[in-house]
Amino acid sequence: MSFANILREIVEGCGGGIGAALMGSDGIPIEQIVAERVPEGPLADDIGTAGVEFTRILDEIRKASDALSGGAVTETVIVLSRFSLVFRPIDEDTYLTVIVAPDGNLGKARYLIRRNLLSIRQEL
């Protein structure tokens, strides 16, 4: 299964999915898909923008986890008034960003991400 098919399955399966991007740690998208219902703004053009904008914050979260001996960060969820973002590391150099509308099913998005992790890792 291709990256685009996996990302589409997550976005369409969660109900309220806006888009998803598989990104390198440098913020450059490897693959991304956008659903039809995208809010106005930078996300309408490029889902990867969300990953780039939050990269510094995700690095700080990793550093805080190390300082607290909390172990590896397995998932980061950021809930905003216009959408929610789920960041999931795939390996040391790659992570997945999924964006869900406020009326979407964030729990199901997180489940679908976990369910498809092996498939994404195999495609890498």
- Model confidence, pTM: 0.86
73 DSSP 8-state letter: -
Contact present, 54 and 23 (Cβ < 8 Å): no
Give the tokens for residue 122.
Answer: 């195999």
Domains of the chain: 3-123 (3.30.450.30)
Q: What is the pLDDT of residues 68-84, one digit of tens each?
A: 999 989 999 999 988 89
| Percent of the chain clearing pLDDT 70 (strictly above) | 90
Give how far Cα 29 sits from Cα of 32, 46, 102, 103, 113, Å.
7, 9, 24, 26, 17
Q: What is the pLDDT of residues 15-30, one digit of tens each?
A: 889 899 998 877 778 8
State the Cα–Cα distance between residues 24 and 30, nearest whole angstrom: 7
Looking at residue 43, its pLDDT comes to 60
pLDDT > 60? residue 42: no
Looking at residue 36, its pLDDT comes to 74
100 DSSP 8-state letter: E
pLDDT > 60? residue 57: yes
Looking at residue 111, its pLDDT comes to 96
Question: From the DSSP assignment, how many helices (H) and strands (E) are in the chain?
Answer: 3, 5
Of 15, 75, 80, give the one whose Cα is nearest residue 42: 80
